[in-house]
Structure 1
């Protein structure tokens, strides 16, 4: 084997090892079933109440982005204490709707029932049905 063939073989070997290493790291550190998220309460309308989010036994994976996953069905959000970011964790609730929920809550002294959420502009029966089991008063 001449030096040119040795160089090509060395290059191919190194390329294979680098590829195998990357593949191993992606599989080992890639998809995680639980992602730890730290939420800081920097938004209006939120409190530092530990009762805002409660874990339940119902677990389901939902893709977050790429290889990240979040377990969203184990979260029950108290709509009277949740921050804007916490409200946005609910399926179908974006920043604008979360702000409307907070404004309604502040204006009316909080929600008395879950169904009162239907009075917030942008929350209809379908959206309410999708989130009613993930919220509490």
Structure 2
């Protein structure tokens, strides 16, 4: 049976304690996304790719500079602000999604993205990622 659709849902999510968080997040997120799309390009049966991005790709911006800015498909998180605050996950999502959109356009791939606020589920690691730690803190009243 031919593969007609792909859901790309993986991305590095590291804890705050990781010393090389920038390198460990940006490269794998961007390259992993492009690797998936390169594989998709090889399939003559592919109809659509769904990329799970993140609300972090659009919501991190300085509200005082553009308070009335509407959020749509042209809205992105501020790269300088993400860098200043060392929000590497958000920056990775911006760069990976932009790279995916460019690649899909150049290669005639039907790509759609979804931007969830957070994803909850069993952790593959014994160390909780930032989102899971934040949720746990809320549940524990912290």
> Which bin holds the TM-score, normalised by the shorter protein?
under 0.3
TM-score between the two structures when normalised by the length of structure 2? 0.22
Q: Which has the higher contact order (CA 8 A, sep 6+)?
A: 2
Larger radius of gyration: 1
TM score, norm. by length of structure 1: 0.22
